[in-house]
Amino acid sequence: MNTVKYNTITTNPEMEACELANHIGETVRLHGAVYKIRRMSGFAFVLLRMRDAVVQCVYSEESASFPLNLLAEEACVRLTAEIVAEERSRTGYELRLKNAQVLSAPYEELPIVINQKKVNTSLENLLDYRPITLRNEKERAIFRIQAAICTAFREFLNMEHFTEIHSPKIAAIGAEGGANIFKLPYFGKEAYLAQSPQFYKQMMVGVFERVFEIAPVFRAEKHDTSRHLNEYTSVDFEMGYIESFEEIMAAENRMLIHCTAFLKEHCEAELALLGCTLPEIGEIPHIPFAAAKEWIAGSCHRKITDMLDFEPEEERLLCGLVKKETGSEFVFVTHYPSAKRPFYAMDDPQSPEKTLSFDLLFRGLEITTGGQRIHSYEEQLQKLHARGMHEELFEGYLMLHKYSVPPHGGLGLGLERFTAQLLGFENVRSTALFPRDLHRLMP
């Protein structure tokens, strides 16, 4: 007897919001969640949150075969409605409800109002009730845009012949140094959560020449600031056979131009909802770190207290100065001091106290770090030893150098920081789905 059964489920015949305008005069099936019920005299507006948009339906006892109280806000429903031309409606049509089937109803009333233009509450509350506050149209738009940013980056990197990789997030050593590393017990040994895919993306340059990864990384930062998360999504790429670290900057410049064009094409409604103006990106200006420090000090009458890094305020001031002088909202700062960069960064042969590295600042905040890496085995060993690091710990990583890898470099961009700057949020938590920070492990 033949026990194999074939899948007989046919394509779902229900409409998407974007298709409705092409079906005026027809009766269609839709599904979604009841976002809001606005009772008027003699009829009601029922806003339906569909996959791609919130659409407005009209309920009246004359047209509908069900009582209005069958519907509750946030109930998941399947509806039948007639699409009728209506000049007064923003969309040019009206959805007249005929039938409704409730697929799932809320057990109790929502603890927070989510169906206003924006969720009017503190960031803390917004995050505490994340599974439901994300259903708000504006909150949802942030993450639709973030998804589109990733799609655009992927599309660009694929076009430029990068291979996507998935590197381990449990590691035996930290790649970025410092104390901001999470330890975890690992079958009687100690392991760490990956601070970045740095070693693995470099190893993969020896295999694929150009690689990228978009994945979570973990930082045990004790900073409770608006720009630090303990888990964030890092957009990393690494490319081989470069002649200068400026090729990495040029690739990022192209990637960002591609991204804004992609968002313009695919996220018009979400950008409008959030009142976001996309930056005009031309050739991004660059300035060496030391010159930037002096420029800020001179123009803003500030004392330089830290010659090795920027203070957050200096990043803001520098972006202001660059915008005023060039119109650009982005600026590459190059040649960071060697003392502040990790051991894999290549020093500038002309002045070894500086590295062939850069940061990209956008609207006052660092969103990317990148640069050229050491590819010579001897040079890498020398730098490890000079920093008092134990080469035995880096055996796997050093195979890369020992058995030859092309001159290479790459970068890491913080997805939440980029999204926050693009959409005008002051806190990176606003652009992390379920942020992890010093105080937050739930939801």
Min dist CB 140 to ligand AMO, Å, is 22
Give the residue, chosen from 315, 329, 366, 437, that forms a contact with ligand AMO under the rule CB under 6 A. 366
Burial class of residue 342 (count of CB atoms within 10 Å of its CB; 0-12, 13-18, 19+): buried
Nearer to ligand AMO, 37 or 248 (CB): 248
- List b or e across 139-156, with b for residues whose CB sees 16 or more CB atoms inside 10 angstroms: bbbbeebbebbeebbeeb
Min dist CB 432 to ligand AMO, Å, is 8
Burial class of residue 8 (count of CB atoms within 10 Å of its CB; 0-12, 13-18, 19+): exposed
CB within 8 A of 56, min separation 6: which ones? 45, 46, 47, 48, 89, 91, 94, 95
345, β-bridge pairs: 373
Distance separating alpha carbons of residues 22 and 89, to the nearest angstrom: 15
Nearer to ligand AMO, 229 or 281 (CB): 229
Query: Is the Cβ–Cβ distance between 432 and 232 less than 8 Å?
Result: yes
Nearer to ligand AMO, 226 or 299 (CB): 226
Distance separating alpha carbons of residues 216 and 212, to the nearest angstrom: 13
48, β-bridge pairs: 34, 55
Min dist CB 357 to ligand AMO, Å, is 7
Give the residue, chosen from 96, 210, 219, 335, that forms a contact with ligand AMO under the rule CB under 6 A. 219
Phi-psi region of 407 (alpha: psi -120 to 50; beta: other; left: phi over 0): beta
Stretch of 11-19, 127-135, 297-305, 363-371 lying at the interface with ligand AMO (CB under 6 A): 363-371
Min dist CB 362 to ligand AMO, Å, is 9
Min dist CB 403 to ligand AMO, Å, is 22
Asked if residue 369 binds ligand AMO (CB under 6 A), the reply is: yes
Give the residue, chosen from 198, 253, 419, 431, that forms a contact with ligand AMO under the rule CB under 6 A. 198
Query: Is the Cβ–Cβ distance between 342 and 387 less than 8 Å?
Result: no
Q: Are strands 210-218 and 163-164 parallel, antiparallel or unpaired?
A: parallel
Q: Give, in order, the Cα–Cα distances in Å from 237 to each of 107, 162, 212, 339, 409.
A: 46, 8, 4, 24, 8
Residues 104-123 that bind ligand AMO (CB under 6 A): none
Min dist CB 248 to ligand AMO, Å, is 9
Give the residue, chosen from 115, 146, 167, 196, that forms a contact with ligand AMO under the rule CB under 6 A. 196
Min dist CB 359 to ligand AMO, Å, is 6
Q: Give, in order, the Cα–Cα distances in Å from 279 to each of 321, 330, 413.
A: 17, 9, 17
Residues 223-242 that bind ligand AMO (CB under 6 A): 228-229, 232, 234, 236
Give the residue, chosen from 155, 209, 221, 246, that forms a contact with ligand AMO under the rule CB under 6 A. 221
Min dist CB 422 to ligand AMO, Å, is 13
Distance separating alpha carbons of residues 77 and 64, to the nearest angstrom: 15
Nearer to ligand AMO, 115 or 196 (CB): 196
Distance separating alpha carbons of residues 351 and 338, to the nearest angstrom: 10
Min dist CB 305 to ligand AMO, Å, is 21
In the block, which residue shows the tokens 């699409």? Answer: 83
Question: Using CB under 6 A as the criterion, what x/- string covers residues 407-436 for binding ligand AMO?
Answer: ---xxxxx-xx----------x--------
Which residue is at the shortest CB distance from ligand AMO?
414
Question: Using CB under 6 A as the criterion, what x/- string covers residues 159-188 for binding ligand AMO?
Answer: -----------------x------------
- Footprint of ligand AMO (CB under 6 A): 176, 196, 198, 219, 221, 228-229, 232, 234, 236, 366-371, 410-414, 416-417, 428
